[in-house]
């Protein structure tokens, strides 16, 4: 099976900011390039952090409400520092959480979930910026055609990996939802088939209606 990696999904032409890029210049970068965040890099193109719309909005939220209707709690010191910042190095969220090009979609998605972030700069072995991958990029795996998913499950998973004949298990795919019907040799093989099918790029769910010819769920009794 071929799983798409971060390198396959990332944006390679990355809009960058430098340490001394000014607040208004960052706003212009976001607007002109239709992006919501930019990595901040040093002279060697190493990511130092990321400046997002959320970081920039602290400048607005820290201002006093002219009407006097909104009463906000006093911001923390780090929030005040960001709100008062004028350069990228003062505004960015740091350090940068980065991905590697060879990471799988699962690795990148777990990293984003654990760190509660929406994008990852992608760096090479020398930690130089190579691209950026976002949540939307990872979700593109679910745009695969049903026919492509079915062909991969039938050919790569069932026939090549599990050595099952096409007559043993049939595969239907609708909107990424996989339905398996047929029979396998042993009961213990069913969860293996399901797990491998779920790992195919673009699969949303797997429903396995599989019978078995041998019940191997019980271990052989111990002789005394």
The fold of 144-214 is 3.30.1340
Burial of 122 (0-12, 13-18, 19+ CB in 10 A): buried
Whether the predicted pLDDT of 79 surpasses 80:
no
Taking only the tens place, the pLDDT of each residue in 188-218 is 999 999 999 999 999 999 999 999 999 988 7
pLDDT at 77 over 70: no
Percent share of the chain, pLDDT over 70: 87
* Residue 61 clears pLDDT 60, i.e. is over it: no
Mean pLDDT of the chain: 90
- 126-164 as b/e, with b when 16 or more CB fall inside 10 Å? eeebbbbbbeebbeebeebeeeebbebbbeebbeeebeb
Q: What is the rounded distance in angstroms from the CA atom of residue 7 to the CA atom of residue 179?
A: 30
pLDDT band of 45, cuts 50, 70, 90: very high
Mean pLDDT of 77-94: 81
What is the spatial distance between Cα 32 and Cα 15, in angstroms, rounded to a whole number?
Answer: 10
Band (176; pLDDT cuts 50, 70, 90): very high
**Residue 218 in tokens:** 């019980």
| Region 6-140: CATH code | 3.10.580.10
User: Are domains 6-140 and 144-214 of this chain identical in fold?
Assistant: no
- Residue ranges per structural domain of the chain: 6-140, 144-214
Is the pLDDT score of 72 beyond 80? no
Instruction: Give 59's pLDDT tier (boundaries 50, 70, 90).
Output: confident
Q: Mind listing the pLDDT tens digit for each residue in 9-30?
A: 999 999 999 999 999 999 999 9
Q: Which pLDDT score is estimated for 224?
A: 46
Q: Specify the pLDDT at position 73.
A: 55
pLDDT digits (tens, 9 = 90+) for 155-166: 999 999 999 998
Both tokens assigned to 97? 């959480």
User: In the prediction, which pLDDT does 135 show?
Assistant: 96
């Amino acid at each position: 099976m071929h799983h798409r990696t971060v390198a396959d999904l990332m944006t390679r032409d990355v809009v960058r900011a430098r340490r001394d890029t000014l607040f208004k210049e960052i706003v212009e970068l976001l607007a002109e390039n239709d992006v919501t965040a930019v990595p901040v890099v040093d002279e060697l193109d190493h990511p130092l952090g990321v400046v997002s719309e959320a970081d920039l909005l602290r400048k607005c939220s820290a201002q006093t409400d002219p009407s006097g209707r909104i009463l906000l709690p006093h911001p923390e010191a780090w929030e005040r520092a960001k709100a008062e910042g004028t350069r990228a190095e003062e505004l960015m969220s740091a350090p940068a959480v980065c991905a590697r090009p060879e990471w799988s979609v699962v690795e990148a998605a777990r990293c984003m979930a654990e760190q509660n972030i929406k994008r990852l700069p992608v760096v090479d072995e020398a930690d130089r910026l190579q691209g950026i991958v976002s949540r939307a990029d990872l979700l593109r795996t679910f745009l695969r055609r049903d026919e492509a998913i079915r062909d991969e499950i039938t050919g790569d998973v069932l026939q090549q990996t599990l050595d099952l004949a096409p007559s043993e298990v049939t595969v239907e795919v609708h909107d990424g939802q996989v339905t398996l019907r047929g029979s396998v040799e042993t009961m213990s093989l069913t969860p293996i088939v399901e797990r491998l099918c779920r790992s195919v790029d673009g699969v949303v769910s797997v429903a396995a209606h599989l019978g078995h010819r041998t019940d191997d769920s019980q271990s052989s009794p111990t002789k005394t």
